[in-house]
Amino acid sequence: MYEVRCEMYDVSGSMTAQDFTPNRMEAAKKVAEDFIDRRMTDRIGIVIFSGESFTQCPLTTDHAVLKLQIEQIRNGLLEDGTAIGSGLATSVDRLRNSKSKSKVVILLTDGVNNGGLIDPATAKEIAKAFKIKVYTIGVGTDGYAPTPVNTPMGIIMQNEKVTIDEKLLTQIANETGGRYFRAKDNAGLNNIYTEIDKLEKSKVEITTYHRFTEKFYPFVFAALAFLLLEVILRFTVFKKFP
């Protein structure tokens, strides 16, 4: 039985902050690709969100296509903002009709919900109704992070305060049976995905066919030959005369 999962990625402007190497978004893409390589039998889909949400890749077992779609993720694809509720609702919609026993969403964000048409609490209840487990990841260092900002003078680096709604992310994870994680650097993010991989080991049903080669035929033929010889000898050489 395949596991199905939908990975959600925040593509808002703050994901270009450089408290990760080279930035949050590229670090998230790298660990996502490594994670996909480890989940060889899973059907996986990709949802991106900022001020709105979009299905970057529907559920598929073609992991080469998945990784190609992840490579194409960048800031500016959607209206800016952080629509956590809309992103989660879109992910649930991708998974809800699956017959798999294990349905999982990995929600990665670095901000606070401030947009979208669906409230995060509503999206969380929809996930619970469809028995979808949500692992949430808050991305960002403590304090301030260097972030490229567009200005009339061009792009300049500014220290932007890191603000993650950990209370909301913890609530979503706990109430759907998942866990909340906080990633403060590349190594921490990689460790989180390794932990999720261990927590979500899938059972794969494999049908095995065995081909048998029968080796008793020579012995059968030899036995038949001896029986035939016995019959011939009985009525010839060893025939009894009255």
* SS3 assignment for the chain: CCCEEEEEEECCHHHHCCCCCCCHHHHHHHHHHHHHHHCCCCEEEEEEECCCEEEEEEEECCHHHHHHHHHCCCCCCCCCCCCHHHHHHHHHHHHCCCCCCCEEEEEEECCCCCCCCCCHHHHHHHHHHCCCEEEEEEECCCCEEEEEEEECCEEEEEEEECCCCHHHHHHHHHHHCCCEEEECCHHHHHHHHHHHHHHCCCCCCCCCCCCCCCCCHHHHHHHHHHHHHHHHHHCCCCCCCC
173 part of a folded domain? yes
* 208 domain residue, yes or no: no
pLDDT bucket at 5, cuts 50 / 70 / 90 = confident
Per-residue pLDDT reduced to its tens digit, 155-183? 999 999 999 999 999 999 999 999 999 99
Give strand pairing partners of 7: 46, 106
Q: Does the pLDDT value for residue 97 go beyond 60?
A: yes
Whether 207 is in a domain gets the answer no
- Determine the structural domain holding residue 96 and report its residue range: 4-199
- Taking the mean position of all CA atoms in its chain, how far away is CA 178? 14
pLDDT at 194: 96
User: Would you place residue 240 in the very low, low, confident or very high pLDDT band (cuts 50, 70, 90)?
Assistant: low
Is residue 28 in a domain?
yes
* Mean pLDDT value across residues 66-87: 94
Average pLDDT over residues 3-31: 93
The number of folded domains in the chain is 1
For residue 160, is it within any domain? Answer: yes
In CATH, what number is assigned to the domain containing residue 35? 3.40.50.410
The reply to whether 61 falls in a domain is yes
pLDDT at 154 over 60: yes
Mean pLDDT of 115-138: 96
**pTM (global) more than 0.85:** no
Instruction: Examine residue 18 and state whether it is found in any structural domain, yes or no.
Output: yes
Instruction: Please check whether residue 159 lies inside any domain of the structure.
Output: yes
Would you say residue 227 has pLDDT above 80? no
